[in-house]
Amino acid sequence: MTHMRERLIVGLDLQSVAEAEKAVGELGEMVAFYKIGYQLAFAGGLGFAQELVQAGKKVFLDLKLLDIDNTVARGVESVARLGVTMLTVHAYPKAMRAAVAAAEGSGLCLLGVTVLTSMDAEDLAEAGYAHDPETLVRRRAEQARDAGMGGLVCSAAEAAIVRGIVGPDMAVVTPGIRPAGAAAGDQKRVVTPGDAIRAGASHLVVARPIIGATDRQAAAQAILEEMVAADG
């Protein structure tokens, strides 16, 4: 269970730092790793990220950087100074290469975002992509590996494919995790915690099934237990 606490990332998808502090307090020692995305980052979450780091927690900043090379590089340098563990960059080759160069020596694990778990083939076609999700994920996994990224973010439905491309050492981080029977919400390519572990995911990102639970600690424990059982 202790080892799995390093692999479960709880998404603090909340409106304020006060709400996030309450959630972290309720989860206590059950959770060691938290994700901060746009919602909380733009409401004071970057300062809160530093507080979590100082409290001994790991932090995944899900900011999905994409810009001109210089801007990406300077952004990565600033994030590295916060002491967080992970940062997302959209898996465009130039952006990834700029990010990797900027993070060198910092210990920051850079994750390439492949295809959002809220998107399916129809969504990609509407956005102008010629590939289906699996084909695009494969291509971006290869590009991230070649760029020297620390890992990738993908649906657990593609985790086995990605693991086969990047090998055993890169992180494979899977959002869109839903326990059996849980509502999918706006996610389209969802997988259970156990299936994600069996598919080769190194880390699972879980937000609503824990944050939205009446007993958050019990919800986190149930997911951790499923992860442990699948890893055995």
Residue found by looking up tokens 């499923």 in the block: 226
Rounded distance between C-alpha atoms, residue 190 and residue 183, angstroms: 10
Question: Does 67 appear as a known binding residue?
Answer: yes
Question: Does 64 appear as a known binding residue?
Answer: yes
Question: Does 66 appear as a known binding residue?
Answer: yes
Question: Does 88 appear as a known binding residue?
Answer: no
Question: Does 189 appear as a known binding residue?
Answer: no
Question: Does 35 appear as a known binding residue?
Answer: yes
> Would you call 64 a catalytic residue per the annotation?
yes
Question: Does 65 appear as a known binding residue?
Answer: yes
The residue annotated as part of the active site, out of 22, 57, 58, 64, is 64
- Specify whether the CB–CB gap between 135 and 156 falls below 8 A: no
Burial class (CB in 10 A: 0-12, 13-18, 19+), 76: buried
Dihedral over Cα of 214, 58, 48, 118: its sign = negative
Question: Does 208 appear as a known binding residue?
Answer: yes
Helix (H, G, I), strand (E, B), or coil: what is residue 189?
coil
Question: Does 70 appear as a known binding residue?
Answer: yes
- Specify whether the CB–CB gap between 44 and 21 falls below 8 A: no
Q: Which amino acid is present at 226?
A: E
- Give the strand pairing for 109-113 and 203-206: unpaired
Question: Does 169 appear as a known binding residue?
Answer: no
- Specify whether the CB–CB gap between 12 and 84 falls below 8 A: no
Question: Does 58 appear as a known binding residue?
Answer: no
The residue annotated as part of the active site, out of 57, 58, 62, 186, is 62
Q: Which amino acid is present at 87?
A: L
- Specify whether the CB–CB gap between 15 and 39 falls below 8 A: yes
The residue annotated as part of the active site, out of 22, 57, 58, 67, is 67
Question: Does 207 appear as a known binding residue?
Answer: yes
- The residues carrying an active-site annotation are 62, 64, 67
Provide the annotated binding site for substrate.
13, 35, 62-71, 117, 178, 187, 207-208
Provide the annotated binding site.
13, 35, 62-71, 117, 178, 187, 207-208
